[in-house]
Chain A
Amino acid sequence: MKRFLAELEAMKARLPAGHTSSLVMPCLHRIQDERGFVADEDIAFLAEHLGVPRVQIEEVLSFYTMFRRMPHGRHFIEVCRNVSCSMQGSEKILAHLKARLGIGPGETTPDGRITLATAECLASCGTGPVMVVDGAYRERLTEDRVDAILEELS
């Protein structure tokens, strides 16, 4: 994690002095983007370098749905299940994914390829149904489009 120190300093420069706790969320994002999840050693590293109590970082990790303490599959699919997407057929999309992958939300395929999850409104209501695949929005889904997207994922 040491190589984040330069980045950390650059971020600090745009914050008022003494308020480094504001770097907790950006740092957790940065670490998770790289490692895929946040490990115990990352928490220790941040607690030391940001001068923030360890418990505060643990609280943040358990409060926000996007942070993970465990690795998931090589690919991560989140399907919106909120109002507008439901009205545009997201339940069918989710059912299709479950059938194709043989898993439910919160589960990973036995080969470790894909983890499936549900998400709340992603501000893609006009272009739904939507799912997020490895951080990228995939919109206007149909079952055929979902099949094509699954083909892309190794």
Chain B
Amino acid sequence: MATEKRLMTFEVTDTSHTLAAYRERGGTTALAKALRQMKPADVTKAVCDSGIQGRGGAAFPMGRKWQVVKPDDGQEHFLCANADEGEPGTFKDRWILENAPHLLVEAMAIASYALGVRHCVVYIRGEFDLAYRRLEAAVEEAYSAKLLGERILGTPFSCDLFVCRGAGAYVCGEASGLLSSVEGKKGFPRNRPPRLTVRGLYQKPTVINNVETLSNIPWIINNGAAKYREAGTAKSPGTRLISISGHIERPGVYEVPFGTPFDRFVFEDCGGVTGGRALKAVVPGGISTKVLTAKEIAGLPMDHASLSAAGSSIGSGGMIAIAEGTCMVRLLQVMLRFYHHESCGQCTPCREGTGWMHRIIDRIAAGRGEPGDIERLYHVAHFNDGMTICGLGDAGGFAAEGILNKFGEEFEYAIANGRTRFGGSLP
């Protein structure tokens, strides 16, 4: 299995985010190649052939999304990069934005060329400070260097890039909520169909891709789809950025090929659990994915098919290691408080359901749990699932089910004894 890296290929320094440094490591050549030697359809074909899947969480094939958009249908089209990284445990896109913003800018220009986009948007989290400043600086550098704007690199292709800052709403990381926000409205997700590739931003066909997904495009253009597939597995080609945190010896962002054994990654690459404690569980891809126990990750390849077979998902790549002795009741309390706080209130099952789950877990954690509370949590998680416009309510249910399925005994203990087994310990 090839272990070469495609994104984290350079040493991070004080200047590695600049255009000069980006050019020095071969940047902007893919844009020149695409504009001068390839037709838009060739770019889309390369992306399709690479088999690259979305890195935001849903793992939708990028090429299939792109193919819905017909660049020559006489309509305006839009492209949005989803840089609203907010899934708890995830900080990989921040790494790209802070250290390689030109990778995203170049990818946006290439993708816009392929999709017939005149105006593209990067929607970035409102809280990001350095990431936002570096992206803004990169966009200005790119305009000055004719990598954006009118007649890019002297070719007939023109494209403007607009950076839109969010303002603290998790739900805007959901593609249609993001578009509502870009349109200057509250970030309510929209019912589908029609799909956003048919009616998206301002009711025009719109492609929304995650920052990491887009950032792979220059590599694919430079090296070809076949070469891209040399890393990873047949169904999940390429490499994946994994951000790992929690009780882990070496937290941070790692780039690994899909299919890397889960336990080898946690124990060897990341140094295992802090303080020599045993591993209790792992949140594999953001808290909206179901936890896996230490036993379950043994020998498990990190790719979409394997994680899915194990009843979870690689999600957003936001991994959280949980040491033995951690109180799962308190952990779930933190998670459910989050979903309740972030529910946008548009759909009744999510607005009310996340609140109910939050109140139930609050009383269990406080030692006032009632018989039947575990069943009530399951009940709310189930009736939420699939009943709402977006997946936020479902995700809260997944988090609850994942922990209850595997650590239900801790909840029974808390309800029976009026206190949690591990005394609410999180650190």
Contacts and interface: CB of A to CB of B under 8 A. Distances in A.
A65 interface: yes
A86 B88 CA distance: 11
Contact of A123 (B94, B183, B252, B320): B94
B161 A14 contact: yes
B184 A125 contact: no
A26 B168 contact: no
Interface string B246-262: 11000111000000000
Contacts of A66: 126-127, 166-168
Interface string A80-108: 01111011110110000000000000000
Nearest to B188: A63
Interface stretch (B32-40, B65-73, B99-107, B333-341): B333-341
A125 B334 CA distance: 14
Nearest to A78: B127
B125 A15 contact: no
B119 A64 contact: no
Most buried by A among B93, B246, B331: B246
Interface string B239-283: 000011111000111000000000000000000000000000001
Contact of A88 (B168, B181, B427): B427
Nearest to A59: B186
B243 A120 contact: no
B89 A84 contact: yes
A14 B119 contact: yes
Contacts of A83: 88-89, 246, 283, 287, 320, 331, 334-335, 338
A87 B129 contact: no
Interface residues of A, number: 49
A32 to B, nearest CB: 9
Contacts of A63: 169, 186-187, 344
A51 to B, nearest CB: 11
Contacts of B169: 63-65
Contacts of B243: 125-126
Contacts of B22: none
Given A81-B334, A125-B89, A128-B245, A91 B426 contact: yes
B272 to A, nearest CB: 15
B91 A87 contact: no
Interface string B319-342: 010100010001100110010011
A56 B287 CA distance: 32
Nearest to A16: B119
Interface in A40-84: 50, 52, 56, 59-60, 62-67, 81-84
A22 B164 contact: yes
A134 to B, nearest CB: 10
A84 B283 CA distance: 11
Given A14-B161, A29-B165, A87-B322, A126 B184 contact: no
Interface string A1-43: 0000000000101111001011111101100000000000000
A105 B34 CA distance: 51
Interface in B405-423: none
A135 interface: yes
Contacts of A50: 184
A126 B88 contact: no
Given A63-B186, A64-B169, A82-B334, A123 B128 contact: yes
Given A82-B338, A123-B85, A126-B251, A64 B166 contact: yes
A22 B167 contact: no
Interface string B78-100: 00000001111111011000000
Contacts of A86: 330-331, 334, 426-427
B342 A25 contact: no
A114 to B, nearest CB: 18
Contacts of B320: 83-84, 87, 125
A62 B91 CA distance: 27
A58 to B, nearest CB: 10
A20 B161 CA distance: 15
Contacts of B326: 87
Contacts of A19: 183, 202
B91 A120 contact: no
B86 A123 contact: yes
Interface of A: 11, 13-16, 19, 21-26, 28-29, 50, 52, 56, 59-60, 62-67, 81-84, 86-89, 91-92, 119-128, 132, 135-137
Interface of B: 76, 85-91, 93-94, 118-119, 121, 125-130, 160-162, 164-170, 181-187, 202, 243-247, 251-253, 283, 287, 318, 320, 322, 326, 330-331, 334-335, 338, 341-342, 344, 426-427
Given A63-B344, A125-B243, 10 more contacts: A13-B160, A19-B202, A66-B166, A83-B88, A84-B246, A87-B322, A87-B426, A91-B426, A121-B88, A124-B94
